[in-house]
A and B are shown apart, each in its own frame.
Chain A
């Protein structure tokens, strides 16, 4: 590692540079100045992001800090919200609407396993879509990999997903202690959770890259997504097992790219999912297309989208990003 230069050495270098430049500056005064776009292809963007990867952690921390800004309970909300969400949905769908897991798995556990993936997708999309607006000041003030703006929107959803998992593990232990039944899958099957999350993250980030730029240009996307996402919750097998889906609607589950990763997570965690090859292919193909095209679109348009002023909610912090 290069040793730190002293202030004097740096000052000398600067003075030397300025002295050397003086005659040339006069000659160039009349020459036209040309500013060309630096190479900003996907590879350059990824390379730059990798070189500056240390910055990702503070940027994600900033996103988390923004979520708990202005609260008295602070970090506790990171725990409370997922727990209350799962509890509320269990009471509504399991208690009132009498939905069941389809097997012997308790509905609360079944719902938690599905919500881990769904909430990761839903939250990332909502926060990510507003990421350019939330980071507008930083984007205008500093030069850094803009890709981190979109990626950092994963911060809060990842914490939530971790909390859902903790609650799920706690519930498994509770049932183990009270009924003697251990619902968590054995280790080889449990490993399916990893590719399940990976596939889900690819799909989520691809969609986020598209929507973040689009929303920076027109807020209609944010308003539209507010109504589209709840539909997504119902058409994806989260609240109900895929086996309960009427036969004529089964194709919906197959073409839904979220089905495969969420079923992988559910099956990996508690053995309550069904992984269909066709759905898996759809997820892979759709994930690859949306991520590559999203990265292309982001690289091309993210900086330009700063020019759009579609209403000042820079750095605002309204509930859930809705």
Chain B
């Protein structure tokens, strides 16, 4: 009886070779030994599903599953080995921080202190990024009170204006600005402008978003700006410009539980001002990205 057969014998309630998926007892296979599973004997259905199941079980148990599918046409095997993790060459042991390892095989090491068993990986090569001429750059990002003062905190009863200044080094066919609010590392709100503008010539433009009282719930936020742009008619590529380094911290507090109705009067929830060039004139608005879907754009 081979290792795989032992597993089949102890597997809880497999139906039969025709069943969609047999539940393999992954938690009994964490000893670091290599095992082979045969289609029709140990599993049925998609091999990819079994491999994924092994990887999921490994993640859940703080291990790493190495899998290999062996398709012999008549036979199909899946080889699985659980290791304590993947270790990049040069890193200390992630379990006990020891820095001494024994090389067991070309790509496997064992920690000399806690005896954890790791698959060795090469450090990812840092590929040189092709240099691109700058297109646009956010110069400034301000959180302003209604009166125009910069702020770092506001109450839920106050209005706020976000102002981003962006410099364009060349004409842009379509530019779509937006502000993003992060809380606890997660994107909480992405307010994209209803207008897509054209930048006819190299210029500096300002974009403003008015945030009405009560829109933001109390909490700590990080506010950034993100824009998507299309350079010219020849290219359809959508590029992104983010104001990552300019991100501002914002604390929103709630002096009262509810926003009094008088504070809401006269305001829509979120309201954009027209984008203006440095000269103060409004940038031309074009009819693109009106129904733009948010792809969860990373910045």
Contact = CB atoms under 8 A, between A and B. Distances in A.
Interface string A192-213: 0000000000000000000000
B182 interface: no
B262 interface: no
Interface stretch (A24-32, A153-161, A237-245): A24-32
B39 to A, nearest CB: 12
B135 interface: no
B172 to A, nearest CB: 44
A139 B94 CA distance: 25
Interface stretch (B101-109, B152-160, B275-283, B289-297): B101-109
Interface stretch (A34-42, A214-222, A288-296): A34-42
Interface stretch (B58-66, B194-202, B235-243): B58-66
Nearest to A38: B102
A144 interface: yes
In this complex, the interface size class of chain A, counting residues with CB under 8 Å from chain B, is 35 or more
A80 to B, nearest CB: 16
Contacts of A61: 75
Given A10-B30, A54-B2, A137-B68, A25 B92 contact: yes
A11 B96 contact: no
Contact of A141 (B27, B73, B79, B96): B79
Given A27-B97, A36-B103, A65 B72 contact: yes
Contacts of B77: 58, 62, 65
Interface of chain A, main secondary structure: helix
A69 B74 contact: yes
A62 B99 CA distance: 38
Interface stretch (A14-22, A114-122, A273-281): A14-22
B34 A55 contact: yes
A303 interface: yes
A98 interface: no
A97 interface: no
Contacts of A5: 27
B75 A4 contact: no
Interface residues of B, number: 53
Contact of A21 (B36, B75, B97, B108): B97
B100 A34 contact: yes
Interface string B46-77: 00000000000000111100101010111101
B2 A55 contact: yes
A152 B32 CA distance: 21
A28 B97 contact: yes
B139 interface: no
Interface in A108-163: 137-144, 146
B246 to A, nearest CB: 30
Interface string B77-106: 101010100000111111111111111111
- Which of B83, B89, B104 gathers the greatest number of chain A CB atoms within 10 Å? B104
Contacts of A177: none
A65 B39 CA distance: 13
A231 interface: no
Contacts, number: 142
Contacts of B70: 62
Contacts of B89: 33, 35
A33 B99 contact: yes
Contact of A140 (B4, B33, B94, B106): B106
A37 B102 contact: yes
B208 interface: no
Contacts of B109: 35
Contact of B68 (A141, A143, A306): A141
Interface string A172-191: 00000000000000000000
A260 B188 CA distance: 82
Given A14-B61, A143-B105, A34 B2 contact: no
A4 B28 contact: yes
A300 interface: no
B103 to A, nearest CB: 5
Contacts of A20: 96
Nearest to A48: B104
B3 interface: yes
B74 A34 contact: no
A55 B4 CA distance: 9
A11 B58 CA distance: 10
A116 to B, nearest CB: 27
A143 B93 CA distance: 18
B66 A142 contact: yes
Interface in A253-305: 303-304
Given A11-B60, A28-B92, A35 B101 contact: yes
A33 B34 contact: no
Given A11-B62, A137-B68, A144-B33, 15 more contacts: A10-B30, A14-B61, A18-B95, A24-B97, A25-B97, A33-B92, A34-B101, A35-B102, A36-B102, A59-B36, A62-B77, A65-B75, A141-B68, A142-B68, A143-B105
6 contacts: A15-B62, A17-B95, A32-B99, A54-B6, A58-B4, A138-B68
Interface of A: 4-7, 10-11, 14-15, 17-18, 20-21, 24-29, 31-38, 52, 54-55, 57-59, 61-62, 65-66, 68-70, 74, 137-144, 146, 303-304, 306-307
Closest 4 CB pairs of A and B: A14-B62, A24-B97, A38-B102, A28-B97
